[in-house]
Structure 1
């Protein structure tokens, strides 16, 4: 599937992966818009807002606790592992919209979490931040300052962490190859990253079972899952 651009792939020095919910779905983590579990009677899109949190913090925390259980039980799949292994052959950075930490579990060392992390918490008022690997005995949990703690994730209507986003822009602007995996490229501003790469004349490869809004802009589109396609990508790099 990579034969048509085999020579071009062999020349790349810096590879950027932009990953979305599709790669994690292969590890058993439902996509964000899934309707299973605790929130089946709620609109997940509406729960992931600061307004929903202040209106019903207990419900939002119950939803995130359910999601956290699913994340902690999940394991990196062959797609995650292939990306980590690529570090042996090229400079690799992962720009992920996922909040599950599976890239790090697989061994990737350069990961920018654009939308935060589900295993991290922060105070809704002060600057307190921490990691939490267990459930809270009472929800919503409170910070030492007396205000509510919240998941350290980016909700709809909130800006991305600017230090992370600026690093992502620089990395995308300097890469030779960008591989877009398991994302529909509809969420802004992450969907602008391929534009930055293209301005550097980088090669764009999309790996997704479904067509996306930017499929026509890709140099190569592979209608497959990351777990199937990415190990073959490694094989091509090894041959070069």
Structure 2
């Protein structure tokens, strides 16, 4: 089977009712990004940060995978699929996709504030005073601004092996994730699906690129026959 690698961003889950960060009504509206998504914000006001992610977690638990998620899962019948997602939700997994790399962590996990290796399943609110076995406060297992992205190297390795690359629902403006597409082997077919595709420097450098200005679901439906022709 040929290797299909998918780079998915917030637009992938927008059709499931999960707001994107870059839209005018995005999740960070009313919040300075650094207040809720940085180590400094966590140190200054952990209650605010926990409340922010507790609300996101509740919203996720009521959401369902959309047709775009399901179409990607169906492609596993024809390709060896790896999804590299910037999203912290579990909608790819719930749709049936089996090989997913979460670049920015997972909302349904918590971890120790002291030891990053201590990670726990988490479907309930995280409260001040909840600790790991080391006695350290639990925090969301989210990669915040300024922190290392531990899954970046494995993601780059998969992209470098791609026979086909799909970029879905991302502005291609947040680094280091935006740099991943540049690891694609020369000549690899690349498809970029987004309602408002950003043809910025990262995208303009890509060769063999097809741009589909549409939502994830509609864009994937349009491209399905083209993708199957590449099997």
Task: Specify if TM > 0.5.
Answer: yes
Check whether the contact 2:19–2:26 (CA below 8 A) recurs between aligned residues.
no
SS of the equivalent of 1:41 reads coil
> Secondary structure at the residue paired with 1:53?
helix
Query: What's the CA shift string for 1:43-72, capped at 9, x where partnerless?
Result: 234310011001110110000000101111
Q: Once superposed, which parts of structure 1, at least 4 consecutive aligned residues long, lie more than 6 Å away?
A: none
Residues of 2 paired with 1:233 and 1:108: CA distance? 18
SS in structure 1 of the partner of residue 171 of structure 2: coil
Q: Secondary structure at the match of 1:151?
A: strand
How far did residue 236 of structure 1 move? 3.9
What is the correspondence of 1:55-94 to structure 2 with a 5 Å cutoff? 55-94=44-83
Count of residue pairs the alignment pairs up:
225
**Equivalent residue, structure 2, for 1:177:** 164
Higher helix share: 1
Cα distance change on mapping 1:146 and 1:239 into 2, 3 Å: closer
Structure 1 residue matching 2:160: 3-state secondary structure: helix
Check 1:40–1:139 CA distance in 2 against 1; reply closer, same or farther (3 A cut): farther
* Alignment partner, residue 111 of structure 1: 100
* Structure 2 CA distance for aligned equivalents of residues 38 and 111 of structure 1: 24
SS of the counterpart of 2:110?
strand
Pair 1:222 & 2:212 matched: yes
Tell me what 1:232 maps to.
222
| Alpha-carbon offset, residue 146 of structure 1 | 2.0
C-alpha deviation, 1:129, in angstroms: 1.2
Query: Secondary structure at 1:52's aligned position in 2?
Result: helix
Aligned residues of 2:8 and 2:170 also touching (Cα < 8 A): yes
Supply the distance in 2 between the matched residues of 1:202 and 1:46 (Cα, whole angstroms).
40
Q: Give the Cα separation in 2 of the matches to 1:94 and 1:43.
A: 30
Deviates more, 1:227-236 or 1:118-127: 227-236
Cα distance, 1:40 vs structure 2:
4.6
Deviates more, 1:109-118 or 1:210-219: 210-219
Aligned mates of 1:42, 1:54 — CA distance in 2:
16
CA distance in 2, matches of 1:37, 1:231: 26
Q: Does 1:100 align with 2:86?
A: no
| RMSD (Å), alpha carbons | 2.1
Residues 1:133 and 2:123 are matched in the alignment: yes
Q: How far apart are residue 114 of structure 1 and its match? A: 0.7
